[in-house]
């Protein structure tokens, strides 16, 4: 098997546009943000913003993996089903933990315990992807640089339009995750804008109106499925 993507050069991974380089870049940013949060050197507001940044990057990154990369690995690698099932289970556990974090006030003693558990799982997920799944994907496409760049472009496009918060009830695989992803992404990103504090009254009205419409759509969809 190919070595861990942490041990390979950008050139060996297919160039800057390769999905392997993009994945490694996101992993490094997540590691930096988690270290910043756990250092405890920030004021309360800044620390919560760092946690929000971690959550947003974690879920957009994972959604793009589940939509673009893992179906490719299942299709091309004999052991793809086994590998992706394991990482999808980890993603589900992270979903559940972060959903619990978002329901818990920062002052609650359980908050930091839940964050610690989530960070531990995220780090484990990163290690398994860098040492096992992504090298396996690299082999499955026969180190084809053009294909790795194409996957990178597709992955990045999905990541930039993906949901940014946990949705534990949503399927981990296409087509279920892709169908739910569009309205959930719109809702999440509207909520992110509002939390970031859109100061302009007109912008705030648009954001709140969009969120209300999406919430109503999700409510109708939920009722229709029951």
Number of separate domains in the chain: 1
Taking residues 206-218, report their average pLDDT: 49
Which pLDDT belongs to residue 220?
53
Answer whether residue 94 is part of any domain.
yes
Confidence bin at 178 (pLDDT 50/70/90): low
Mean pLDDT of the chain: 87
Which pLDDT belongs to residue 177?
75
Answer whether residue 152 is part of any domain.
yes
**Global confidence as pTM:** 0.83
The residue range of the domain holding 36 is 5-168
Answer whether residue 213 is part of any domain.
no
Which pLDDT belongs to residue 214?
46
Confidence bin at 9 (pLDDT 50/70/90): very high
Which pLDDT belongs to residue 182?
62
Taking residues 65-82, report their average pLDDT: 96
Answer whether residue 51 is part of any domain.
yes
Decide if pLDDT at 89 tops 90.
Answer: yes
Under 8 Å between Cβ of 80 and 140: yes
Which pLDDT belongs to residue 13?
97
Taking residues 155-180, report their average pLDDT: 83
Confidence bin at 226 (pLDDT 50/70/90): very low
Which pLDDT belongs to residue 166?
87
The pLDDT tens digits for 48-62 are 999 999 999 999 999
Answer whether residue 185 is part of any domain.
no
- Rounded Cα distance between 137 and 164, Å, is 25
Percentage of residues in the chain having pLDDT higher than 90? 68
Percentage of residues in the chain having pLDDT higher than 70? 84
Answer whether residue 141 is part of any domain.
yes
Answer whether residue 129 is part of any domain.
yes
- Rounded Cα distance between 133 and 222, Å, is 34
Answer whether residue 58 is part of any domain.
yes
Which pLDDT belongs to residue 221?
45
Which pLDDT belongs to residue 176?
72
Taking residues 101-118, report their average pLDDT: 94
């Amino acid at each position: 098997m190919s070595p861990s993507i942490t041990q390979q050069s950008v050139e060996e991974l297919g160039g800057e546009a390769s999905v392997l380089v993009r994945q490694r870049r996101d992993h490094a940013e997540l590691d930096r943000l988690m270290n910043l949060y756990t250092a405890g050197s920030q004021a309360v507001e800044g620390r919560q913003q760092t946690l929000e940044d971690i959550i947003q990057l974690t879920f957009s990154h994972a959604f793009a993996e589940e939509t673009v990369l893992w179906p490719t690995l299942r299709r091309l690698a004999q052991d793809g089903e086994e590998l992706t099932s394991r990482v999808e289970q980890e993603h589900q556990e992270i979903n559940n933990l972060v959903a619990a974090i978002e329901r818990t006030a920062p002052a609650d003693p359980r908050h930091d315990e839940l964050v610690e558990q989530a960070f531990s799982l995220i780090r484990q997920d990163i290690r398994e992807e860098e040492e096992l799944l992504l090298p396996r994907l690299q082999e499955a496409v026969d180190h084809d640089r053009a294909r790795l760049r194409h996957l990178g472009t597709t992955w990045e496009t999905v990541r930039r339009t993906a949901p940014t918060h946990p949705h534990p009830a949503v399927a981990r695989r296409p087509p279920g995750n892709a169908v739910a992803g569009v309205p959930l992404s719109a809702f999440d990103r509207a909520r992110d804008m509002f939390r970031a504090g859109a100061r302009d009254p007109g912008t705030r009205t648009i954001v709140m109106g969009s969120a209300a419409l999406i919430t109503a759509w999700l409510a109708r969809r939920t009722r229709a499925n029951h």
